Amino acid sequence: MRMYDIITKKRDGEVLSEAEIRYFVTEYTKGTIPDYQASALLMAIYFNDMTEKERATLTMAMTESGDMIDLSAIDGIKVDKHSTGGVGDTTTLILAPLVASLGIPVAKMSGRGLGHTGGTIDKLEAIPGFHVEITTDEFIDLVNKNKVAVVGQTGNLTPADKKLYSLRDVTATVNSIPLIASSIMSKKIASGADAIVLDVKVGSGAFMDHLNDAKDLAHAMVAIGKHVGRQTMAVISDMNQPLGKAIGNALEVKEAIDTLQGRGPKDLTELCLALGSQMVVLGGGADTITEARALLEAQLYNGKALEHFKSFVAAQGGDPKVVDQPDALPTAQYQVELPAQSDGVISAFSCNDVGAAAAMLGAGRTTKESSIDLSVGLVLHKKIGDHVQKGESLATIHTNHQDIEAVKEQLYKSIELTQEAVELPPLVYDTITS
Ligand code: URA
Ligand code: CA
């Protein structure tokens, strides 16, 4: 087989065979196909797309390019959740214990990652003592016992995706539905998911800023799941403003604790119920989304979700007293208000810029090696549609530096006020099932 012929075929809009796709992924991962030929194929895929079958083949070839985590020793259907990324997204911290409290196993492999704040693992490590350095056997035992555990990414997962993603990043081929869909799905399948719930974000803080693109991406991933025998569902959710109120590691843990007691921000609670009910249905805990939702809501108000969070934290070495004493979490030295500069109604957030303000405070990493400050971040007091009066606080800034003029400037620039009536964006635009 020759890479030249594979490129030609895709350039001319033809359909690649399974053997051709597998040859490309295997040989590129090994290093026998050079970057320039891989780039040419990626660009051809960008313009000429792939059929559902090609996408499924590409996904499985990437999945099988490295280690695959075997979770078969965990009883029940392992449902994983993936978000395409947003600002202040605290959902995993809430969903893991909430869904597990209904007896559905949540075996979560998570990353630290680069971003405005840390990843799920960084957030959890804001809880004193909490650790994720556990062996695969311990991980499986914990899930069998408590129905939930979170472990750091181990092994050599989807090396093909790592290599291809870096290449896409520098060849203007990131934004391609078949390439994004196969990249995300390959990682979920390699980390052992039997079923997958996707949160596809749309808006100013998301990968996709148009609803139709987000829908196409969601349909693409659900179709791949069906092809490869992993039931998949997706929610399209709004990312035109940060989710919830808190942005920052320890601040989001506190927000998660509030939400697990039924006292969380409305949007965050609602999205957790939407995603959680899909997880419960896929995990066999309910027949319909409506039934699943009712079960989950009950757990938020009867104390069981919070109880489950406590036992999950304790099982991984964390101090569960953070639930009743939030000041046991890392706390920033200063809390500075951000007063509104005029009267008005909040009309929009430039979501990524709000996230960048949290990063400027030290809440995120800029390189893989840099450290993060778990205590700092923002708590928003106003969201789209809220009225504000001049001088009223838009947000509390939690910081360890007194000089934060640049952060304030950044925030003022990213929060828009208007004098007119504002239409609220819906939180969930659509739900996609096969
Ligand atoms: N996230 C991924 O993991 N892969 C992509 O291609 C895009 C977003
Ligand atoms: Ca949040």
Nearest-atom index, ligand 1, CA of 174: 6
Q: Whose CA is nearest to atom 8 of ligand 1?
A: 180
Please give the distance, rounded to the nearest whole angstrom, from the Cα atom of residue 249 to the centre of ligand 2: 9
Please give the distance, rounded to the nearest whole angstrom, from the Cα atom of residue 325 to the centre of ligand 2: 19
Torsion of CA 275, 281, 283, 287, to 10 degrees: 170
C-alpha–C-alpha distance, residues 297 and 381, integer Å: 25
Ligand 1 pocket member 380 (CB < 6 A)? no
pLDDT the model gives residue 367:
80
**Ligand 1: which of 84, 158, 177, 221 to mutate, most ligand atoms within 8 Å of CB?**
84
Q: Which pLDDT band holds residue 86 (cuts at 50, 70, 90)?
A: confident
The average pLDDT across 99-119 equals 89
Q: Whose CA is nearest to atom 7 of ligand 1?
A: 180
Inter-axis angle of helices 159-170 and 18-30, nearest 10: 80
pLDDT the model gives residue 112:
77
Helices and strands counted in the chain (H then E): 16, 13
Query: For a pLDDT cut of 70, what percent of the chain falls above it?
Result: 100
Ligand 1 pocket member 180 (CB < 6 A)? yes
Among residues 384, 399, 81, the alpha carbon closest in space to that of 245 is found at: 384
Q: Which pLDDT band holds residue 154 (cuts at 50, 70, 90)?
A: confident
Query: CA geometry: angle at 392 spanning 387 and 398, to 5°?
Result: 115
> What's the pLDDT tens digit per position in 165-174?
999 999 999 9
Q: Is the pLDDT of residue 151 over 80?
A: yes
pLDDT the model gives residue 323:
94
Burial 254-271 (b: 16+ CB within 10 A, else e): bbbbbbbebebbebbbeb
The values of phi and psi at residue 232, to 5°, are -135, 140
Which residues make beta-bridge pairs with 345? Answer: 387, 418
The pTM of this model reads 0.94
> What's the pLDDT tens digit per position in 221-251?
999 999 999 999 999 999 999 999 999 999 9
Ligand 1 pocket member 183 (CB < 6 A)? yes
CA 71 to mean position of chain CA atoms: 21
Cβ atoms of 316 and 97 closer than 8 Å = no
pLDDT the model gives residue 197:
97
pLDDT the model gives residue 118:
85
The average pLDDT across 149-157 equals 89
pLDDT the model gives residue 299:
98
**Ligand 1: which of 168, 183, 186 to mutate, most ligand atoms within 8 Å of CB?**
183
Residue 38 tokens, joined? 């891989």
Query: CA geometry: angle at 311 spanning 309 and 317, to 5°?
Result: 105
The average pLDDT across 158-179 equals 96
Inter-axis angle of helices 304-315 and 136-146, nearest 10: 160
pLDDT the model gives residue 110:
86
Nearest-atom index, ligand 1, CA of 184: 3
pLDDT the model gives residue 233:
97
Q: Which pLDDT band holds residue 72 (cuts at 50, 70, 90)?
A: very high
Cβ atoms of 282 and 195 closer than 8 Å = yes
> What's the pLDDT tens digit per position in 188-225?
999 999 999 999 999 988 888 899 999 999 999 999 99
Please give the distance, rounded to the nearest whole angstrom, from the Cα atom of residue 233 to the centre of ligand 1: 17
Q: Is the pLDDT of residue 43 over 90?
A: yes
Mean pLDDT of the chain: 95
* Contacts with 433 (C-beta within 8 Å, 6 or more apart), sequence order: 222, 233, 234
Provide the annotated active-site residues: 82, 161, 168, 183, 187
Ligand 1 pocket member 184 (CB < 6 A)? yes
pLDDT the model gives residue 419:
95
Q: Which pLDDT band holds residue 73 (cuts at 50, 70, 90)?
A: very high
Q: Is the pLDDT of residue 415 over 90?
A: yes
Q: Whose CA is nearest to atom 1 of ligand 1?
A: 184
Query: For a pLDDT cut of 90, what percent of the chain falls above it?
Result: 91
Torsion of CA 290, 292, 295, 299, to 10 degrees: -120
Query: Which position has the higher pLDDT, 114 or 127?
Result: 127
Nearest-atom index, ligand 1, CA of 168: 6
Instruction: Look at the chain and count its residues.
Output: 434
Q: Which stretch of 76-80, 187-191, 205-209, 425-429 has the lowest confidence by average pLDDT?
A: 205-209
User: Which helix or strand (DSSP H or E) is residue 82 part of?
Assistant: strand 79-83
C-alpha–C-alpha distance, residues 184 and 63, integer Å: 10
Give the ligand with the smallest distance to the CA of 175: 1
For the chain, the 3-state helix, strand and coil shares in percent, each to the nearest 5, are 45, 15, 40
The average pLDDT across 50-76 equals 97
The average pLDDT across 72-80 equals 95
pLDDT the model gives residue 176:
95
Q: Is the pLDDT of residue 96 over 80?
A: yes
Among residues 240, 235, 237, 217, the alpha carbon closest in space to that of 355 is found at: 240
> What's the pLDDT tens digit per position in 115-129?
888 889 999 999 999
C-alpha–C-alpha distance, residues 387 and 422, integer Å: 10
> What's the pLDDT tens digit per position in 300-338?
999 999 999 999 999 999 999 999 998 899 999 999 999
Q: Which pLDDT band holds residue 13 (cuts at 50, 70, 90)?
A: very high
pLDDT the model gives residue 205:
82
pLDDT the model gives residue 389:
98
